[in-house]
Amino acid sequence: EEGHAEQEIVRLKEAIRQVTDELIQDNLRVSQEVGKREAEIFLAHVAILEDPYFISKIFQDIRENGINAEASVLRQIDEFRAAFEKMDDPYIKTRSQDLGDIGRRVIQKLMPSEDSICDLEEPIIVVASELTPSDTIKLDREKVLAFATESGGKESHAAILARSFGIPAVVGLEGLVSKVKKGDLLVVDGDMGLVMINPPEEVIQNYRDLQKKREIYRTELKKIISLPSETMDGHKVRLWANIGSLVDLEYAMHFGAFGIGLFRTELPFLVWRRFLSEDEQFSLYQKVVTQAGGREFRVYSSSRGHGPCGSQHEPLCASRSKEHYSSC
């Protein structure tokens, strides 16, 4: 009936309004805690929710087929995701996950339920088929020790946010969810891209010892962070940092880097999978150089990447890639 369809559309419009408001708040939060570039994904989600064609397709489905708002959102999101995943462009395939995130958030507003990922009582490791940007920013950094997912890559938005928040993460582990049961003891090695399921006690103890050594090492480094970098016999040493974002620069400056030895200018292109305009690049470089506060700064101009390789074995291992740089 026409009246029922219009009621569903009113419900949907309200859900979209609420999600849009939340996305804007997420953008502000990540901008403050991580950086504006990392926060842009949430404005991109807002743009999708405000896209006339996308929204009109859902409204049309409700009116023509007499289904409720939830069913229409699910159906239209699935159709758009299927179309994206057929594309050869890896960027477009990755963006299908963004559509899934948007759809899930709208459904949650239409069908409110408790969000367990936000209300954790004890420290855990999160294992999931995928983690969306909205999932990642909701993680309690005091309770979530690490996360591992089946989908995604090292330049996915969730992985980028995890690194920025200091949460160990391994992504791209096919078949992970089916191998892990609730209560399993896991080791997540973000450095090596490994997830070990119920490893021997000797392995567990080795990682616990490594964790303690790192904590002690970091504590000792903090004590000397303000001292000049020089050898015991008085020779000064210049310590340079490699960075790829404003967040990296803040860490480098905080820990007393002499200057920037490598600014990975290709990372913004890899993260957003598009060519930044000349104005966007100028604005980024200007901000980085300004925040460097007069420290020496080196920019490398080209990068040649190698694709992921490797087979799946126990322990589960994520693909890694190597990159080559040449100076300008």
CA distance 127 to 179: 10
The helix/strand count (H/E) of the chain reads as 12, 10
- The residue type of 45 is H
Omega of the bond leading into 315 within 30 degrees of 0 (cis): yes
CB 187 within 8 A of CB 196: yes
CB 148 within 8 A of CB 125: yes
CA distance 276 to 269: 7
Render pLDDT for 23-80 as a digit per residue (tens, 0 to 9): 998 888 888 776 776 777 788 888 888 888 889 999 999 999 888 898 899 898 888 8
pLDDT at 12 over 90: yes
| Residues 6 or more apart in contact with residue 43 via CB below 8 angstroms | 23, 24, 27
CB 20 within 8 A of CB 49: yes
Domains and CATH numbers, the chain: 2-110 (1.10.274.10), 116-216 (3.50.30.10), 240-305+322-327 (no CATH)
Render pLDDT for 152-208 as a digit per residue (tens, 0 to 9): 776 666 777 777 677 888 988 888 888 988 889 999 998 888 999 999 999 999 999
What is the predicted pLDDT for the residue at 306?
41
Gyration radius from the chain CA atoms:
23
